[in-house]
Structure 1
Amino acid sequence: MTARQPAFVLHDHQKPRPHYDLRLEEDGVLKSWAVPRGLPTEPDANRLAVAVTDHAMEHLSYHDDEKSIADTGWWEQNDRNDHRLVFTLHGAGPARRYALIHTGGPNWLLHLTKDQPTA
């Protein structure tokens, strides 16, 4: 029997201003970052990610008139230390590997890594 993989959800928010929330399941909650410009699509297009309050697991499927689910699936940790988390998202499209790099306070840098998983 294989263990269940931790889930993720990417929410597309319309208010108070358009942004995305990346939520990764960990320790029974969804660790969350607001990403004003969305996930990077190229390795040289880094994005600000602001850590926000953890959310309950019910947010994996939550949506309303102002919040929709842009992607959902599972994630795997590839590397981690006190200042960086490297992870792969397995969602609707091809798997993509990212790094969250802590830059101080609530601010993180979300980076699409150059080395991507192979199909």
Structure 2
Amino acid sequence: MSHRPIFVVQLHDARRLHYDVRLEVDGVLKSWAVPRGPSLDPVVKRLAVFTTDHDLEYASYEGVHADSKYGSGAVIVWDAGVYTNLTPGSAAEAIEHGHLKVRLHGVKLVGAWAFTRTGADWLLVKVRDEDADPSRDLTVTEPRSVLSGLTIEEMAASGG
């Protein structure tokens, strides 16, 4: 059986609340900060800022950072699962070329999304497929961690 790479979406209340979308690629988590979170609407283009790679162990991290190398503030695992690279070649090559299309198999996020580099930044867009649903906003209706069941506010209040 072949290895299925993981993905994780962590909600992080740092300087600004944002979603960190992370994909396992070549033994690390390639990461994009998505200020407004993933959308299920294919016409919505979400800014995705490519950030530093994270260690794979970070995929299950929840807590409150106090001035860590990954930024301070509360963190929850908003969604997690495995993904399939839909782009020809490897995911690393696709990122290098500025366009990666993946199918997520998560608790909340299911279906295909595309990451496209536009100059210095990237866009995250839901692909038109059977899982697209413009009427649903999971960032509003599904605020809890898939690991602890806590909201970002509850995690911050707990002190991690």
Structure-1-length-normalised TM-score: 0.90
Larger Rg: 2
Distance 1:103 1:94 in 2: 24
Paired position in structure 2 for 1:63: 62
- The structure 1 segments of at least 4 consecutive aligned residues displaced by more than 6 Å after TM superposition are none
Name structure 1 gaps, 5 residues minimum: none
Q: Which moved more, 1:74-83 or 1:28-37?
A: 74-83
Q: Quick one: which amino acid aligns to residue 98 of structure 1?
A: W
Distance 2:109 2:116 in 1: 22
Q: Quick one: which amino acid aligns to residue 59 of structure 2?
A: L
Contact 1:97 1:116 in 2 (8 A): no
Distance 2:19 2:98 in 1: 22
Paired position in structure 2 for 1:75: 83
Name structure 2 gaps, 5 residues minimum: 65-73, 89-93, 132-160
Paired position in structure 1 for 2:129: 115
- Shift of the alpha carbon at 1:45? 1.1
Paired position in structure 1 for 2:50: 51
Aligned counterpart in structure 1 of residue 105 of structure 2, from 81, 90, 99: 90
**Identity percentage of aligned residues:** 41
Q: Deviations over 1:14-67 (max 9, x none)?
A: 121110000000100000000000001200111000000000011110111300
Q: How many residues align?
A: 115
Q: Quick one: which amino acid aligns to residue 44 of structure 1?
A: V
RMSD: 1.4
